[in-house]
Chains A and B, each alone.
Chain A
Amino acid sequence: MTHDHDHDDHDHSSELSEMQLRVRALETVLTEKGYIDPAALDAIVEACETKIGPRNGAVVVARAWSDPAFKQALLADATRAVGSMGHLNRVGDHLIAVENTPKRHNMIVCTLCSCYPWEVLGLPPVWYKSAPYRSRAVKDPRGVLADFGVTLPKDTEIRVWDSTAETRFIVLPMRPSGTEGWSEERLASLVTRDSMIGTGLPKNAKEAS
Chain B
Amino acid sequence: MDSVHDMGGMDGFGKVEAEKDEPVFHAPWEGRVLAMQRAMGYAGAWHIDHARFAQERLPPLTYLGVSYYRRWALAMEKNVTERGFVSAAELEAGHAQGPGKALPRKLTLDLVPGLSRSTFYRQQQGPQRFKPGDRVRTKNIHPATHTRLPRYARGKLGTVESCRGCHMYPDSVAIDHGDDPQWLYTVLFEGRELWGLDSDPTLKISIEAFEPYLDPA
A: residues with CB less than 8 A from B are 4, 6-7, 15-16, 19-20, 22-30, 32-37, 39-45, 47-49, 89-94, 109, 111-114, 118-119, 122-123, 125-127, 129-142, 144, 147-148, 154-167, 194, 199
CB closest residue in chain B, given A103: B202
Alpha-carbon distance A164/B189, docked complex (angstroms): 14
* A39–B109 touching, CB < 8 Å: yes
| Most chain B CB atoms below 10 A, which of A26, A32, A92, A199 | A26
Max count, chain A CB within 10 A of own CB: residue among B8, B25, B149, B207: B8
The residue in chain A whose Cβ has the minimal distance to the Cβ of B51 is A113
In the complex, A44 Cα to B32 Cα: how many Å? 9
Contact assessment for A165 and B210 in the assembled complex, using a CB-CB cutoff below 8 Å: yes
Q: Are A94 and B7 in contact (CB under 8 A)?
A: no
Further 16 A-B residue pairs, CB within 8 A, beyond A45-B32, A48-B31, A125-B18: A24-B32, A26-B91, A27-B36, A30-B85, A40-B108, A41-B39, A45-B31, A48-B34, A90-B117, A93-B120, A126-B19, A132-B13, A139-B8, A164-B150, A164-B208, A167-B164
Interface string of B125-142 (1 = CB under 8 A from A): 000000000000000000
Q: How many B residues touch A, CB cutoff 8 Å?
A: 97
B5 contacts A by Cβ under 8 Å:
yes
A119-B116, A126-B22 as given contacts; A35 in contact with B202, CB under 8 Å: no
Partner of A49, one of B31, B55, B108: B31
Provide the bound-state CA to CA distance between A156 and B205, in Å: 14
Tell me whether B25 and A45 are in contact (CB under 8 A): yes
B162 to chain A, nearest CB (A): 9
Closest to B103 in A: A35
Taking a contact as CB atoms under 8 Å apart, the answer to whether A160 and B32 are in contact is no
Name B's A-contacting residues (CB within 8 A). Answer: 5-11, 13-19, 22, 24-25, 27-29, 31-36, 38-40, 43, 45, 48, 52, 55, 61-62, 64-68, 70, 73-74, 76-77, 80, 85-86, 90-91, 93-96, 99-101, 103, 106-109, 111-121, 148-150, 152-153, 164, 167, 170, 184, 186, 194-195, 199-200, 202-210
Query: Is the Cβ of A112 less than 8 Å from the Cβ of B16?
Result: no
Q: In whole angstroms, what is the CA distance A62 to B74 when docked?
A: 40
By a CB distance below 8 angstroms, the chain B residues around A159 are 204-206
Given contacts A30-B36, A111-B150, A112-B150, contact A139 B195 (CB under 8 A): yes
Q: What are the residues of chain A within 8 A of B32 when measuring CB–CB?
A: 23-24, 27, 41, 45
Say yes or no: B120 contacts A94, CB within 8 Å: yes
Docked CA distance A144–B208 (Å): 22
- Write 19 A-B pairs (CB below 8 A) sorted by A numbering: A19-B70, A25-B91, A25-B94, A26-B76, A32-B95, A35-B106, A40-B107, A43-B113, A45-B35, A48-B25, A92-B117, A112-B148, A129-B68, A138-B9, A139-B194, A147-B17, A166-B167, A167-B164, A167-B186
